[in-house]
Amino acid sequence: MTNDKPPLWRDSRFWNIAGQLTALFLAALVVTVLVSNLNRNLQQLGIQFGFDFLKQQASFDIGETLIAYKPTDTYSLALLVGLINALRVAITGIILTTIVGVLAGVARLSDNWLVRNISLVYVEIFRNTPLLLQLLFWYFAVFLGFPKADNKISLWGLIGLSQNGIELPWFTLSPEFSALLLGLTFYTGAFIAEIVRGGIGSVSKGQWEAARSLGLKPGLIMRLVIFPQALRVIIPPLTSQYLNLTKNSSLAIAIGYPDIYFVASTTFNQTGRAVEVMLLLMLTYLALSLTISLIMNAFNRTVQIKER
Amino acid sequence: MTKLTWLRKNLFNTWYNSALTVICFVLLFRALQGAVVWATTKAQWAVVQINLPLFLVGRFPQTEYWRVWVVLAIAFSLAAITAVVFLGKQRFAGFIKLVAPWLSLIWVLSFPVILWLIGGGFGLRPVSSNLWNGLLLTLFMAAISIVLSFPIGVLLALGRTSKLPVIRWFSILYIEIIRGVPLIGILFLAQVMLPLLLPTDFRLDRVLRAIAGLVLFSAAYMAENVRGGLQSVSRGQVEAAKALGLNTFFVILLIVLPQALRAVIPAIVGQFIGLFKDTSLLSLVGLVELTGISRSILAQPQFIGRYAETYLFVGLIYWLFCYLMSLASRRLEKQLNN
């Protein structure tokens, strides 16, 4: 009966296992070569791998901090300050961009011609130019173009605009933070507007008609009938926009807002520890991405249709 | 429909719509008025006029500009031919039949020719890659990165859908790590870490390192786009091909990939638009592409403070390219759905 068994080279299981072993071997080989190169290069530079430098004195100042920090503190504290700054801009950005995006998306479907087209122009302008350029524009052309603090532009006596940033009645936002926040908000908002428009468009026409025949007002139809159903389509791409916003906040370095990337980059410039800084940065952003994904997935589960 | 009924229907159909129209109109009028007053009185457009060649081709030697024009002509005629083939008009049926089978080959062959025209050598005066700046470098980086990331992305997508656990996990790990990290981090990695990871005597120049970074980044997103296409190919196709006796390699190459890739062309155009915008980040790692050159122009003493003019002009260039590409992609999508 041995004849019934196919020869080894005709057995797909053999090839599957052999192929995977080869892949593993090649990957191990590549990693070994790279790591040995890295070791040799680092040795030449006189750097030894390790995270001890985090306990050293940072000796650089950070423009804005939410927790107490002075240049004599350690690198690890400086990085923590950067992380908090990044979180601050990411969280406020996500909230604001959701508002802007939903408003613009709903406006795209308005029966008012002017509103519809203003929203269209907004989306097409902001979606089709690079975020970095928009940030540079907000910071250098808008905020640095404002008058000095003593003759600030006052909007209804509530908001003051000057080179010092945005002055609200209870606190002041620095120009760097304001430019980054506005840039991220309006850029991401343009993408969210398209997602919201697509989501609302995906709700079948019968739902509108049924709601109208029940005698609901247009505003209520939107809030009670259409939007909850559109959310099911909207949330997955919305999550990836939130992730994009968080990752894009690293462009803060272009306008000098001290987020985690900015602080890490300064740390690298001072210590030359490329590998460690890179690892820390990657882990931080992966952790942030994972957190947002988990939260949004949990939220997504609550809006999906529950099949009984 | 007369103008009056149009107005009533589209702008003043209810009281709140009328109020909205009036508010929007006033705000729009004030904004436009402000913009026009600024653009005609306060703005100094000399920064754009004087530096126009710098924005477009950077420090590319003036005597060699004709080479850029030839490249432009090649790119435009190729794009036009591709458009004709994809739109499939009856009038050009003969032409399409003649060209269509060769189209991808022509595209592939045009690449070394364009590289030769820009870089020189073989009888042309060599132009160092330090001198390719401005829009030229932006277009070059975006094009070369998307082309190089395509095969890697396809392999990663196939790896991610593979039944072999080792290969699948490698692909997932790569794709998810790259997608979880900001592009600027990957560009930094490519600029700083690549020289450390390669043998000591092996030096890549700044442009090549930037391309490596963009390709590493773009391949992960390409893989996700292609995976979408792979999922759209129905299982029956694979089963039918297997029943014909094709082995896995040929099933993928001849049956699955052609259908999958056709389905993801619009997504790939979208990714190209994204990559085109993302090349602006190269200015943060020392490359002098469109955004980089506007920063160095703004650093000249005579143009200090002319931020708004410069960034508006550069923004207009980016916008034109992205908008035209997205229009083309929408047309393409319609065409493919038919």
CB-CB contact of A62 with A157 (8 Å):
no
Q: Could you give the percent of chain A with pLDDT greater than 70?
A: 97
Cα→Cα distances A38→A179, B177, B300, Å: 39, 21, 39
Residue A93's pLDDT is 95
Kindly state whether B245 is in contact with chain A, defined as any CB-CB distance less than 8 angstroms.
Answer: no
Instruction: Report, as an integer, the average pLDDT of A242-260.
Output: 92
d(CA B48, nearest CA chain A) in Å: 15
Query: Phi/psi class of residue B120: alpha, beta or left (left: φ > 0; alpha: ψ in -120 to 50)?
Result: left
Kindly report, residue by residue over A32-90, the tens digit of the pLDDT: 988 888 888 888 887 777 888 888 887 888 888 888 888 888 888 889 999 999 999 99
Cα→Cα distances B335→B259, B327, B332, Å: 15, 13, 5
φ/ψ of B234, rounded to 5, equals -75, 150
Kindly report, residue by residue over B218-265, the tens digit of the pLDDT: 999 999 999 988 888 888 998 999 899 888 888 888 888 888 888 888
Residue B331's pLDDT is 82
B299 class by beta-carbon count within 10 Å (0-12 exposed, 13-18 middle, 19+ buried): exposed
For residue B70, give every residue at least 6 positions away whose Cβ sits within 8 Å of its Cβ, in sequence order, or none: B117
Q: Which residues of B touch A261 (CB under 8 A)?
A: 182, 184-185
Predicted ipTM of the assembly:
0.88
Instruction: Report the C-alpha gap between A203 and A195 in whole angstroms.
Output: 13
Instruction: Report the C-alpha gap between B154 and A159 in whole angstroms.
Output: 52
Chain A residue whose CA is closest to B28: A118
User: Is residue A217 over pLDDT 90?
Assistant: no
Chain A residue whose CA is closest to B202: A37
d(CA B277, nearest CA chain A) in Å: 5
Q: Which residues of B touch A145 (CB under 8 A)?
A: 307-308
Top pLDDT among A54 and B321 is at B321
Residue B273's pLDDT is 92
Q: Which residues of B touch A112 (CB under 8 A)?
A: 10-11, 17, 20-21, 24
Instruction: Report, as an integer, the average pLDDT of A142-160.
Output: 79
CB-CB contact of B282 with B187 (8 Å):
yes
Chain B residue whose CA is closest to A139: B307
| Closest CA relative to residue B222, chosen from B252, B165, B257, B264 | B264
CB-CB contact of B280 with B322 (8 Å):
no
Q: Could you give the percent of chain B with pLDDT greater than 90?
A: 27
Instruction: Report the C-alpha gap between B195 and B191 in whole angstroms.
Output: 7
Lowest mean pLDDT across A36-40, A87-91, A250-254, B92-96 = B92-96
What is the pLDDT confidence band of residue A130, given thresholds at 50, 70 and 90? Answer: very high
Residue B276's pLDDT is 93
User: Is residue B14 over pLDDT 90?
Assistant: no
Instruction: Report the C-alpha gap between B335 and B338 in whole angstroms.
Output: 5
Instruction: Report, as an integer, the average pLDDT of B14-27.
Output: 85
Mean pLDDT rounded to a whole number for chain B: 86
Angle (CA) A221 A224 A225, round 5°: 65
| Closest CA relative to residue A281, chosen from B186, B48, B137 | B186
User: Is residue A96 over pLDDT 90?
Assistant: yes
What is the pLDDT confidence band of residue A2, given thresholds at 50, 70 and 90? Answer: low
In single-letter form, the type of residue at position A307 comes to E
Instruction: Report the C-alpha gap between B268 and B266 in whole angstroms.
Output: 5
Instruction: Report the C-alpha gap between A232 and B146 in whole angstroms.
Output: 32
Other CB atoms within a 10 A radius of the CB of residue A212 amount to 13
Q: Which residues of A touch B11 (CB under 8 A)?
A: 112-114
Instruction: Report the C-alpha gap between B202 and B29 in whole angstroms.
Output: 60
Instruction: Report the C-alpha gap between B326 and B66 in whole angstroms.
Output: 29
Residue A3's pLDDT is 60
CB-CB contact of B223 with B156 (8 Å):
yes
**Highest mean predicted confidence (pLDDT) among A87-91, B120-124, B144-148:** A87-91
Q: What is the largest CA-CA distance in chain B?
A: 77
Other CB atoms within a 10 A radius of the CB of residue A302 amount to 9
Taking an 8 Å cut-off on Cβ atoms, the answer to whether A112 and B170 are in contact is no
Q: Could you give the percent of chain A with pLDDT greater than 90?
A: 43
Could you write out the three-class secondary structure of chain A? Answer: CHHHCCCHHHCHHHHHHHHHHHHHHHHHHHHHHHHHHHHHHHHHHCCCCCCHHHHCECCCCCCCCCCCCCCCCEHHHHHHHHHHHHHHHHHHHHHHHHHHHHHHHHHHCCCCHHHHHHHHHHHHHHHCCCHHHHHHHHHHHHHCCCCCHHHCEEECCCEEEECCEEECCCCEECHHHHHHHHHHHHHHHHHHHHHHHHHHHCCCHHHHHHHHHCCCCHHHHHHHHHHHHHHHHHHHHHHHHHHHHHHHHHHHHHCCCCCHHHHHHHHHHHHCCHHHHHHHHHHHHHHHHHHHHHHHHHHHHHHCCCCC
Instruction: Report the C-alpha gap between A250 and A80 in whole angstroms.
Output: 15
d(CA B266, nearest CA chain A) in Å: 16
Taking an 8 Å cut-off on Cβ atoms, the answer to whether A136 and B307 are in contact is yes
Instruction: Report the C-alpha gap between A262 and A82 in whole angstroms.
Output: 7
d(CA A289, nearest CA chain B) in Å: 6
Lowest mean pLDDT across A151-165, A192-206, B188-202 = A151-165
Mutate which of B23, B181, B329 to test chain A, going by most A C-beta atoms within 10 A?
B181
Residue with tokens 């030697």: B61
Top pLDDT among A50 and A280 is at A280
Residue B1's pLDDT is 64
Kindly state whether B182 is in contact with chain A, defined as any CB-CB distance less than 8 angstroms.
Answer: yes
The SS3 assignment for B191 reads: helix
Kindly state whether A222 is in contact with chain B, defined as any CB-CB distance less than 8 angstroms.
Answer: no
Instruction: Report, as an integer, the average pLDDT of A106-111.
Output: 88
Kindly state whether B167 is in contact with chain A, defined as any CB-CB distance less than 8 angstroms.
Answer: yes
Kindly state whether B20 is in contact with chain A, defined as any CB-CB distance less than 8 angstroms.
Answer: yes
In single-letter form, the type of residue at position A230 comes to A
Taking an 8 Å cut-off on Cβ atoms, the answer to whether A132 and B326 are in contact is no
Sign of torsion over alpha carbons B46, B49, B54, B60: negative
Kindly state whether B198 is in contact with chain A, defined as any CB-CB distance less than 8 angstroms.
Answer: yes
B60 class by beta-carbon count within 10 Å (0-12 exposed, 13-18 middle, 19+ buried): buried
Kindly state whether B22 is in contact with chain A, defined as any CB-CB distance less than 8 angstroms.
Answer: no
Structure tokens at A197: 């428009």
Instruction: Report the C-alpha gap between B123 and B131 in whole angstroms.
Output: 19
Could you write out the three-class secondary structure of B120-179? Answer: CECCECCCCHHHCCHHHHHHHHHHHHHHHHHHHHHHHHHHHCCCCHHHHHHHHHHHHHHH
Kindly state whether B308 is in contact with chain A, defined as any CB-CB distance less than 8 angstroms.
Answer: yes
Instruction: Report, as an integer, the average pLDDT of A234-252.
Output: 92
Q: Which residues of B8-17 are buried (b: 16+ CB within 10 A; e: fewer)?
A: eeebeeeeeb
Kindly state whether A292 is in contact with chain B, defined as any CB-CB distance less than 8 angstroms.
Answer: no
What is the pLDDT confidence band of residue A245, given thresholds at 50, 70 and 90? Answer: very high
Kindly report, residue by residue over B37-60, the tens digit of the pLDDT: 988 888 888 888 888 888 888 888
φ/ψ of A165, rounded to 5, equals 110, -155
Instruction: Report, as an integer, the average pLDDT of A184-209.
Output: 93
Residue B224's pLDDT is 92
Residue B338's pLDDT is 64
Instruction: Report, as an integer, the average pLDDT of A81-100.
Output: 94
Chain A residue whose CA is closest to B292: A133
Q: Which residues of A147-170 are buried (b: 16+ CB within 10 A; e: fewer)?
A: eeeeebeeeeeeebbbebbbbeee
Residue B118's pLDDT is 83
User: Is residue A1 over pLDDT 60?
Assistant: no
Mean pLDDT rounded to a whole number for chain A: 87
Kindly state whether A294 is in contact with chain B, defined as any CB-CB distance less than 8 angstroms.
Answer: no
Lowest mean pLDDT across A76-85, B77-86, B268-277 = B77-86
User: Is residue A131 over pLDDT 80?
Assistant: yes
Instruction: Report the C-alpha gap between B204 and A51 in whole angstroms.
Output: 28
Kindly state whether B281 is in contact with chain A, defined as any CB-CB distance less than 8 angstroms.
Answer: yes
